Amino acid sequence: MRCLKTVLQWVPSHCGIEGNEQADKMAKLGAEDEQEENPVSATEMKTIIKSLLKTPPTHDSYHQLSRPEQVVIFRLRTGHNRMQQHLHKKLRAVPSSMCPCGDAEQDAAHILQDCRNLQPLRREIWTRPVPLHEKLHGPVEALHKTTSFITRAGLQV
């Protein structure tokens, strides 16, 4: 008997993921179809109207980022990314989890804090030592720097 494991993961739309754009187009086509008439009770209508009149909550720094920046931060935060550690340990897609620098496994913490190959770029972007938590959960300016670092380093997360 063969065991299968299913993993559900949120995948952001409009970021060039193969198949994601096609799924988005299909969803939009489905939305254009004539929809069934579904009567709503007075209680339900009252709830809907109240929710529409509520002041939307202020967004944290993550929600102030562009969609591609949100994708980078989300993948760095969750560890579900294209770094060697995840590709090796979770997907068995690469032979080793080691960073090309050879000092440690390639994960978000190593790349953002320690990788000697990226030290010059790290010093250029962060002129003072910045804790990992601030790079991943800090104010919008900190998150912009993190996404800029990943992009300029040529990393695909």
pLDDT (tens digit, 9 = 90+) per residue, 32-48? 887 777 788 888 888 88
Structure tokens at 92: 């068995």
Structural domain tally of the chain?
1
Q: Is residue 113 part of a domain?
A: yes
Q: How far apart are CA 1 and CA 3, in angstroms?
A: 7
Can you give the pLDDT at residue 29?
Answer: 81
CA-based nearest residue to 134, from 85, 73, 69: 73
89 contacts: CB under 8 Å, gap ≥ 6: 97
Per the domain annotation, does 33 fall within a domain? no
The low-confidence residues of the chain, meaning pLDDT below 50, are none
Q: Which residues lie across from 105 on neighbouring strands? A: 98
Q: Are 136 and 149 in contact (CB under 8 A)?
A: no
pTM for the predicted model, two decimal places: 0.65
Residue 108: the pLDDT is: 97
pLDDT, position 2 = 67
Can you give the residue range of the structural domain that contains 104? 82-152
- Residue 29 in domain: no
Report the alpha-carbon distance of residue 121 to residue 153 in Å, rounded.
7
Is residue 114 in some structural domain? yes
Contact indicator for 146, 76 with CB cutoff of 8 Å: yes
Give the CA angle between residues 71, 89, 87 to the nearest 5°: 45
CB 114 within 8 A of CB 125: no
- Whether 65 and 143 have beta carbons less than 8 Å apart is answered as yes
